[in-house]
Amino acid sequence: MGFFRKKTKKDKNENYRKMQFRIMYSFGLIIIVVSAVLASVILERSGTVMRQKVASLVAADSHQLQMNINSYLKKVESTASLMFADEKYYAYDATDESMDEYHRVISEEEITDRIVDIGLMENFSDFSIIYSNDHSVGWLSKTTSGAFPKGGLYDTFAGCITNQKVDSGWAFGVGGNTDRLYYVKRLNPHAILVASFYSKELDSVFKYPEELKGITIRLINDEKQILYSSGKQEIGKKLPEVTASLLVDESNFSAMNKKYLVTSNQCSNGWRVVCSVSMNKIMKENDQLKRSVYLITSICVLVFVSIGMIILKRATQPVDGLVSKLENEAAIDALSGVCNKRAFHKQVTEELGRMAPENIKLFVMFDIDNFKQVNDKLGHAQGDLAIARMGRLLRKKLDAAGTIGRVGGDEFSYYRSFRKEDMEYAKTRMNADMDSLLKVFAEEFTMEHKACDVSLSAGVCLISGDFTFEELSRKADSALYISKRHGKNQYTVYKEGMEDNA
């Protein structure tokens, strides 16, 4: 009987251990399953958010690229239209056999001088008038003329005029030349204007955030032939099928499948800006995170709560990091290269919140006087160029310790702070910077001043105390108003009571 009772106790202990093991095993299995499911849900959500936000930002930047290329093409077309300034330039017909040799030579010299006056040879690889007898006047490169050893120069380029409404057209690959883009404009029934520029000139137009190094930017025509590509070896080839298959007939769209994200924006001349990026590139950080999370989850079953917190933290960091970097790139005004209005307001407001109230604040409002005349008289392309030059000028002349923003069409702002004991230094530095800036602006914009009476006015608020962004902006704007009212081309330092007179 004693043996029987001892065996029963042993069996009970064994059964207890087995039951305990089953409970621990089941509990551990539940934790593993729950943790794995939770990790999968979090990571899937993280991937979805990343894809959506990156797709949205890529689409926004692609649209900006479209506007940049439209501006570039418009500049070429506007420059070519200068040849219509005088009838003797566009009405001359080299095929007119009744014209004597003297008048022929004089006319062609005048046309050539006009081309040189415009300065086109500095910007274009070709700028020439071609007549129906293949005679040309102006700048015609050996590469272009050499592609037609047996003639046909005029007929080939005349066939590039696809927009019959305005008698012009854009072309690529003419005569086998895939290193340049051509613009063709008819001058008269027997003459066409041919202008071209190297496709590499578009490098300055097609820029993308560093965080998306894997993106491919292309410019294509109706035949899906690549006119420009961030991968130079693709120029002249057909758009890869993996990208072409996602394109639709809509002017502007964004499409995404498991392998690629593709955006397309149609330019003013019918060409398309196409941006594509591999989903592997977008999800690279997320995939690395997924492997780490599953590994940690399988090892640390007994610390489920800690694992969950790590998963959540690790799952959200890559999304926030990438989106933050892209949003910082998006905060830069593409035309001027300084902060846009929203980013400027945010950065200055944050700095005001960090600094002591008694510190000295310098807030300046700039306005380009008579800027509208630049657009009206010289064209919007010249206006865009003026804004870009203004941005470069401010970045070069103003202290790097400050923040510069474009807050309107031709309005810019600048903010920086000084220590509370540096008021005299701040005044001296402000006066020196403003005097220098007005002088350099006058030198930089001499042509615009002569043509449109362009100058620079500024309102300066140099003050200490506890002020909001809106209050500083309002005071500087009041001072700017005084500068405008007293003849422009000057700066005014804010004094108490100016707001009542503004």
Residue type, 136: S
Rounded to a whole number of angstroms, the CA Rg of the chain reads 33
211: Cα separation from own chain's centroid:
14
User: pTM score, two decimals?
Assistant: 0.50
387-442: per-residue pLDDT in tens? 999 999 999 988 678 999 999 999 999 999 998 888 999 999 999 999 999 999 99
Burial category of 240 from C-beta neighbours within 10 Å (exposed 0-12, middle 13-18, buried 19 and up): middle
- Predicted confidence (pLDDT) at residue 21 exceeds the cutoff of 80: no
Return d(Cα 13, Cα 258) in angstroms, integer.
Answer: 55
Which tens digits make up the pLDDT trace of 256-286?
A: 887 888 888 989 888 999 988 887 776 665 6
Distance CA 328, CA 339 (A): 9
Angle between helices 380-397 and 2-80 (to 10 degrees): 120
The better pLDDT of the pair 315, 103 is held by: 103
d(CA 363, CA 473): 7
What's the confidence (pLDDT) of residue 252?
Answer: 83
Task: Give, as one character, the DSSP assignment of residue 1.
Answer: -
Greater confidence, 402 or 314? 402
pLDDT for residue 319 is more than 60: no
Q: Which residue has the higher pLDDT, 171 or 316?
A: 171
**pLDDT band at 38, cuts 50/70/90?**
low
Q: pLDDT tens digits, residue range 171-216?
A: 998 988 888 999 999 999 999 999 998 888 888 888 766 655 678 8
Poorest-pLDDT segment among 12-21, 75-84, 445-454: 12-21
Q: Which of 231, 229, 257 is nearest to 245 (CA)?
A: 257
Cα distances from 417 to residues 195, 274, 402, 497, in angstroms, run: 50, 43, 7, 23
| pLDDT the model gives residue 7 | 43
Question: Using CA atoms, how far apart are residues 231 and 212, in angstroms rounded to an integer?
Answer: 14
Alpha helices in 228-303 (DSSP H): 241-244, 279-282, 284-299
What is the per-residue pLDDT for 170? 95
Percentages helix, strand, coil for the chain (3-state, rounded to 5) are 55, 20, 25
Residue 376 confidence (pLDDT): 93
Q: What is the pLDDT of residue 139?
A: 86
Hey, what domains does the chain have and what are their CATH numbers?
Answer: 2-72+283-329 (no CATH), 85-200 (3.30.450), 341-501 (3.30.70.270)
- Contact partners, residue 267, CB within 8 Å, separation at least 6: 66, 69, 70, 73, 219, 273
**Model pLDDT, residue 231:** 79
pLDDT score at 187: 93
pLDDT class for 291, splitting at 50, 70, 90? low
Residue 280 is predicted with a pLDDT of 77
Whether the pLDDT of residue 233 is over 90: the answer is no
